Amino acid sequence: MFEEFQHLARLSVVGALDAQEQRQFDAGREAFGLEAECFLKECRKLNAVFALSLSPCAPDPRTKVRLFARIRAAQNSGAREEVPGVEAFSLDGVGRS
């Protein structure tokens, strides 16, 4: 049913499908063709408009302090935690008041 595909499409746009739902969505997309693509395009537009309508929220200032403290502690102890996709950096002069 196209109505079921529409529900899956909405979830797909926000990345909320599990593996089984993704297979159902892919099958529906193929079965409904152009109608499915038009609906999916509309869902993506609405998702983008919604995302742009949200006001950013500044994190709690204590979070930054705790984060920098943990990084400094790791640097001072010589420990180095590798994080994929993140290059090493120095905190010299950053966050000090």
Per the structure, the count of domains in the chain is: 2
Whether residues 8 and 36 share a domain: the answer is yes
Whether residues 37 and 73 share a domain: the answer is no
Whether residues 9 and 48 share a domain: the answer is yes
Q: Is residue 27 scored above 90 in pLDDT?
A: yes
Question: Mean pLDDT of all residues in the chain?
Answer: 84
Who's near 29: CB < 8 A, 6+ residues apart? Answer: 5, 9, 36, 37, 40
The verdict on pTM exceeding 0.75 is no
Tens digits of residue pLDDT in 46-83: 999 888 888 888 878 898 888 888 888 888 876 665 65
Whether residues 86 and 72 share a domain: the answer is yes
The predicted pLDDT at position 61 comes to 86
Range of the structural domain that residue 33 is part of: 2-53
Whether residues 62 and 49 share a domain: the answer is no
Whether residues 49 and 67 share a domain: the answer is no
Report the share of the chain in percent with pLDDT over 90: 49
Q: Is residue 93 scored above 80 in pLDDT?
A: no
